[in-house]
């Protein structure tokens, strides 16, 4: 007899790093908030759906970069929460393999309890600190590394330095991509620093966000895509970004590099 599918329940739950709130949304999905910050949205019946715009942007980048790939994708997700993006990519690329790193052990357990997530080896949830896990893995064993780890509205500092970025670079196979979700306030001080830091390590970068975010008119997210080879920038990708329910701009080349006018971050500075 087949095992029954998990059934989420709305409520507030104690987790290792604070509290998680699960709310049944009007569209039939579930919204997960961690310590008051919206973190994931999952519709149990629609793994093809992504509610958060930066996740749709990341999925579009992966789709554009690997549309003709014949071998399985190997993806490392730094930051898991409810595993909305790993679940989506595992559905979209059935032969792909995903490891999602989540620092909160109880949250990882609840995500498996609440949602019908793919099982290992398609999707493995590994409990631990994102940097420690990244530094422990063998070099050139991932095609994509996606960083979506937050403490409140910002990325933990030890995941934003040159030294950490080099650890990510070491993991990537030739032609691999690093996709970093960078949240910031309207002044964009943090995200400009992150862009400068990533550009210090990788040969090429591009940026994705809505025009208002680029102009510093609101708080939100900028997606940084980095690699040592050509980056996805096809007409199809630009069309997908423009036609999204929350249209976004793709910034490439010198414009993207120049946008990162902030301080390059190092471990020693952060410890000081």
For the four alpha carbons of 217, 25, 63 and 107, in that order, the dihedral sign comes to: positive
Instruction: State yes or no: is 64 an active-site residue.
Output: no
Q: Which two tokens stand for residue 174?
A: 């030739």
How far apart are alpha carbons 272 and 251 in whole angstroms? Answer: 33
How far apart are alpha carbons 111 and 47 in whole angstroms? Answer: 15
- Which of 104, 143, 148, 184 is the catalytic position? 148
Would you tell me how many other CB atoms lie within 10 Å of the CB of residue 68? Answer: 5
Peptide bond before residue 73 is cis, with ω within 30 degrees of 0: no
Sheet with 30-34: strands ordered across: 11-15, 18-24, 30-34, 37-42
Q: Which two tokens stand for residue 185?
A: 């306030």
Q: What is the CA 171 to chain-centroid distance, rounded?
A: 16
How far apart are alpha carbons 159 and 147 in whole angstroms? Answer: 9
How far apart are alpha carbons 228 and 237 in whole angstroms? Answer: 19
Write b or e for each residue in 151-183: b if 16 or more Cβ atoms lie within 10 A of its Cβ, otherwise e: eeeebbebbbbbbbbebbbebbeeebbbbbbbb
Catalytic (active-site) positions: 148
């Amino acid at each position: 007899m087949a095992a029954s599918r998990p059934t989420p329940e709305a409520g507030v739950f104690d987790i290792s790093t604070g509290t998680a709130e699960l709310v049944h949304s009007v569209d039939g999905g579930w919204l997960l908030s961690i310590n008051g910050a919206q973190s994931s949205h999952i519709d149990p019946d629609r793994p093809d759906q992504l509610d958060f715009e930066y996740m749709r942007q990341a999925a579009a980048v992966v789709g554009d970069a690997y549309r003709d790939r014949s071998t399985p994708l190997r993806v490392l997700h730094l930051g898991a929460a409810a595993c909305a993006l790993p679940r989506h990519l595992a559905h979209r690329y059935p032969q792909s393999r995903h490891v999602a790193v989540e620092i909160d052990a109880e949250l990882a357990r609840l995500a498996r309890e609440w949602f019908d997530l793919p099982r290992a080896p398609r999707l493995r949830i590994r409990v631990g600190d994102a940097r420690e896990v990244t530094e422990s893995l063998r070099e050139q064993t991932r095609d994509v590394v996606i960083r979506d780890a937050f403490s409140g509205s910002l990325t933990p500092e030890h995941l934003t330095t040159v030294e950490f970025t080099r650890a990510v670079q070491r993991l990537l196979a030739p032609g691999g991509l690093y996709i970093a979700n960078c949240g910031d306030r309207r002044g964009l001080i943090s995200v400009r620093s992150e862009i400068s830091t990533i550009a210090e390590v990788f040969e090429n970068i591009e940026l994705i966000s809505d025009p208002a975010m680029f102009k510093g008119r609101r708080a939100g997210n900028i997606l940084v895509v980095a690699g040592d080879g050509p980056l996805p920038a096809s007409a199809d990708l630009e069309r997908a970004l423009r036609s999204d329910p929350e249209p976004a701009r793709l910034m490439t080349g010198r414009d993207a590099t120049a946008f990162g006018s902030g301080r390059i971050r190092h471990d020693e500075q952060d410890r000081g």
